Amino acid sequence: MSTISPKVTSFFDEPTNTYSYVVQDPNSSHCVIIDSVLDFDYAAGHTDTDSADQILEFIKSKDLTVDFILETHVHADHLSAAPYLKEHTGAPMGIGEHIKTVQDTFGKAFNEGSEFERDGSQFDHLFADGDVFDIGKMQAKVLHTPGHTPACLTYVIGDAAFVGDTLFMPDYGTARCDFPGGDARTLYRSIQKVFALPDETRLFMCHDYKAPNRDEYAFETTVADEKKHNIHVGGGKTEDEFVTMRSERDKTLSMPRLILPSVQINMRAGQFPKPEDNGQSYLKIPLNLF
């Protein structure tokens, strides 16, 4: 696989602590967008496109061509702006093929009817482990890295990898595994797939929350730094040690503030639920689901 170094531009949404990325082939004008954000005022039930518009303005200013709008997984902490970005760029939307498992699980949780397709057809492309695709003249490879959710992917693009929620910065640790379909042992094994990449591989995070004693947000590290310093899984920690730690830690965590709206929107590829007979779309708030 090529060791080309893509140009990576980050966009940070502080209300959801989310990093989105534009990843460009340095030898052409082609790029992809990874993990976009649709702004959402939960109290008002109001969405906005300010964050997505920043990405579109950047793409326009650089005269870039978007080859894919990618999701690392079905996010539980922010809404995706993928459909809006597709409308303005024409680029197809992609996610892992195990989205079908997530759709089935949460389709039942939210009591979605037969009109809700559980086959991933809301997305334009479903990636399998080992798939490769081109970004201009640059090749990208897909790693299936489940554990946080069944559908999590890592996109390896040249000397960079975009890990979604699988890993955080070394001083913050790893993703939780207590959502439906999550599994700590599976996550440990997925992380080993990331650790098998060359040590110098740049790793880009989907989130950062400022670890204790760190005052600045951070989003980039390396495989070597994660293997050596990650407080949850680095330094040679065993699978059993990780599973024990992760399971106990997850018991102490509250649910993400936007999990209920996020999952309902994102399992639909960022589309809103179909309008009811008054023309209005609605989200469900299931009581005592978690």
Half-sphere exposure of 43 (CA within 13 A, CB side): 0
d(CA 166, CA 156): 14
Q: The pTM is what? A: 0.96
DSSP H helical ranges for the chain:
50-62, 82-89, 99-109, 184-195, 223-229, 239-250, 259-266
| Whether the Cβ atoms of residue 223 and residue 194 lie closer than 8 Å to each other | yes
Dump pLDDT digits (tens) for 143-166: 999 999 999 999 999 999 999 999
Element (H, E) at 46: strand 46-48
Judged by DSSP in three states, 47 sits in: strand
- For the chain, the domains span 7-266
The owner of tokens 């989200």 is: 283
Dump pLDDT digits (tens) for 211-265: 999 999 999 999 999 999 999 999 999 999 999 999 999 999 999 999 999 999 9
Element (H, E) at 141: strand 138-144
227's CB contacts (< 8 A; 6+ apart) are: 195, 199, 234
**Domain 7-266, what fold?**
Metallo-beta-lactamase; Chain A (3.60.15)
Q: How far apart are the first and last CA of the chain?
A: 42
